[in-house]
């Protein structure tokens, strides 16, 4: 039998048990609460050609899907109203490290992926805290690879501004660091009506000084889904507090499922105006176009083919473009465990081209090829 605080359970009187049970039932009658521990653990052997010193081999986390763990929960407040929270952290399971650094200067953060609390009901959902900007969710709906190889995925690196301050400048509430998530944010999601929904979000920089305004984020999005096919569009503006310059981002995605085939496409464009803090980023436009096809070979096996083209137009940095091709094979051993293999080929000829290669093609090289074999488990 179970022991409680060192005492045998049978030593508790029947009267005490009855009182405790009554109190518990009374609490449950007032509000039902749930808390879920969840996560993904993903690791792969990765070999990449044309790196410093030749071919680089490594065990890397989060190749098919970013490794993470978190808590989420809700409480039924009655009358259709619920309270909810979510806390999620990146997991580098190849080294055991948790969380990640972001911002300018970079600051280590434990619940780096999401940390929100909010309310939901017939009016929709309102969440407060660090959360994904709307463009990530819209483009992610139909990313050609399902956001695989996120560290070098053009839609994550450029469309979602994950290149950070080094790639774009100090825009948004994070000072440019990993801008795909914004601090101090308020997000509103409408109720879904016949598959249609929308969202609005603002992020408050909280870094104003006597000489500068606060950096900020604001965005809107709309979407439709029938569970298999869907389309989403988003538009956002990120402000740099030091000089008031802006970065605008417009993007979207669509996917269409027919039998064993799903076709996916995305497009995103980011544009900056005059940036006096980092002039090299002034009047710069980056576009990412992605196309992909998923083919279900069987109930357990899926083959994905994908192509990304990333272009830059910039007077200071030069015009450039890079192409990325991927083939990914996945085999589900169960509902929670998937094995996979992938091959990626990236082409980038000039220095300006290499800037668009998601850091895969290094100086002095014009291409890189990556092969990966891994396992992903969700819980």
Q: Determine the pLDDT at residue 200.
A: 98
Q: What is the mean pLDDT of residues 346-355?
A: 96
The pLDDT of residue 137: 85
What tens digit of pLDDT does each residue of 60-75 get? 999 999 999 999 999 9
Structure tokens belonging to residue 178: 């990993």
Give residue-wise pLDDT tens across range 289-344.
999 999 999 999 999 999 999 999 999 999 999 999 999 999 999 999 999 999 99
* Domain extent listing, the chain: 38-378
Position 10 pLDDT exceeds 80? no
- Beta-bridged to residue 238, according to DSSP, are 217, 247
Better-scored residue on pLDDT, 142 or 24:
142
**Mean pLDDT rounded to a whole number for the chain:** 89
246 pLDDT higher than 90: yes
pLDDT at 100: 76
Q: What confidence tier does 349 reach under pLDDT thresholds 50, 70, 90?
A: very high
CA–CA distance, 319 with 322 (Å, rounded to integer): 11
Q: Name the nearest CA neighbour of 94 among 375, 379, 378, 323.
A: 375
CA distance 275 to 208: 18
Per-residue model confidence as pLDDT tens digits over 116-173: 999 999 999 999 999 999 988 889 999 999 999 999 999 999 988 887 766 788 888 8
Q: Report pLDDT for 184.
A: 93
Q: What is the pTM of this model?
A: 0.87
Summarised one tens digit per residue, pLDDT across range 254-300 is 999 999 999 999 999 999 999 998 899 999 999 999 999 999 999 99
Q: What is the percent of the chain where pLDDT is above 90?
A: 74
Q: Residue 337 has what pLDDT?
A: 99
What is the CATH architecture of 38-378?
Beta Barrel (2.40)
Give, as one character, the DSSP assignment of residue 10. Answer: G
User: Of 328, 282, 276, 336, nearest to 301 (Cα)?
Assistant: 328
Instruction: Using CB atoms within 10 Å of the CB of residue 223, give its burial: 0 to 12 exposed, 13 to 18 middle, 19+ buried.
Output: buried
Q: Residue 306's pLDDT is what?
A: 99
C-alpha 59/C-alpha 46 separation (Å) is 6
Nearest to 344 by CA among 371, 317, 319, 364: 371
Task: Tell which residue, 349, 298, 300, 282, has the closest CA to residue 320.
Answer: 349
User: pLDDT band at residue 107, thresholds of 50, 70 and 90?
Assistant: low
pLDDT, tens digit, 9 for 90 and up, residues 26-53: 444 456 899 999 999 999 999 999 999 9
């Amino acid at each position: 039998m179970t022991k409680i605080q060192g005492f045998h359970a049978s030593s508790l009187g029947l009267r005490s048990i009855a009182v405790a049970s009554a109190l518990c039932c009374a609490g449950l009658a007032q509000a039902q609460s749930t808390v879920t521990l969840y996560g993904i653990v993903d690791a792969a052997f990765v070999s990449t050609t044309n790196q410093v010193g030749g071919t680089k081999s490594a065990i890397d986390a989060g190749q098919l899907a970013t490794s993470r763990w978190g808590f989420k929960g809700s409480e039924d407040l009655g009358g259709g109203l619920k309270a909810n929270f979510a806390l999620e952290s990146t997991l580098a399971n190849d080294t055991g490290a948790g969380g990640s650094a972001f911002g300018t200067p970079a600051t280590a953060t434990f619940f780096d992926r999401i940390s929100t609390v909010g309310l939901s009901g017939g009016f929709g959902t309102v969440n407060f805290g660090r959360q994904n900007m709307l463009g990530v969710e819209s483009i992610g709906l139909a990313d050609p690879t399902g956001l695989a190889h996120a560290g070098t995925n053009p839609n994550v690196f450029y469309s979602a501004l994950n290149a950070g301050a080094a790639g774009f400048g100090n825009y948004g509430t994070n000072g440019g660091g990993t801008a795909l998530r914004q601090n101090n944010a308020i997000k509103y999601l409408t109720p879904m009506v016949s598959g249609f929904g929308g969202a609005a979000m603002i992020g408050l920089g909280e870094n104003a000084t006597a000489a500068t305004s606060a950096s900020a984020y604001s965005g809107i999005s709309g979407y439709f889904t029938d569970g298999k096919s869907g389309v989403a569009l988003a538009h956002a503006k990120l402000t740099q507090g030091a000089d008031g310059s802006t970065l605008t981002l417009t993007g979207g995605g669509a996917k269409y499922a027919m039998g064993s085939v799903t076709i996916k496409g995305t497009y995103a464009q980011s544009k900056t105006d005059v940036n006096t803090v980092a002039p090299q980023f002034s009047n710069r436009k980056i576009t990412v176009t992605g196309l992909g096809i998923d083919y279900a070979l069987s109930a357990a096996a899926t083959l994905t083919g994908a192509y990304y083209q990333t272009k830059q137009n910039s007077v200071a940095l030069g015009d450039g473009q890079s192409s990325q091709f991927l083939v990914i094979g996945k085999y589900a051993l169960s509902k929670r465990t998937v094995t996979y293999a992938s091959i990626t080929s990236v082409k980038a000829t000039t220095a300006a081209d290499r800037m668009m290669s998601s850091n895969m093609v290094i100086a002095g090289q014009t291409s890189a090829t990556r092969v990966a074999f891994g396992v992903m488990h969700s819980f």
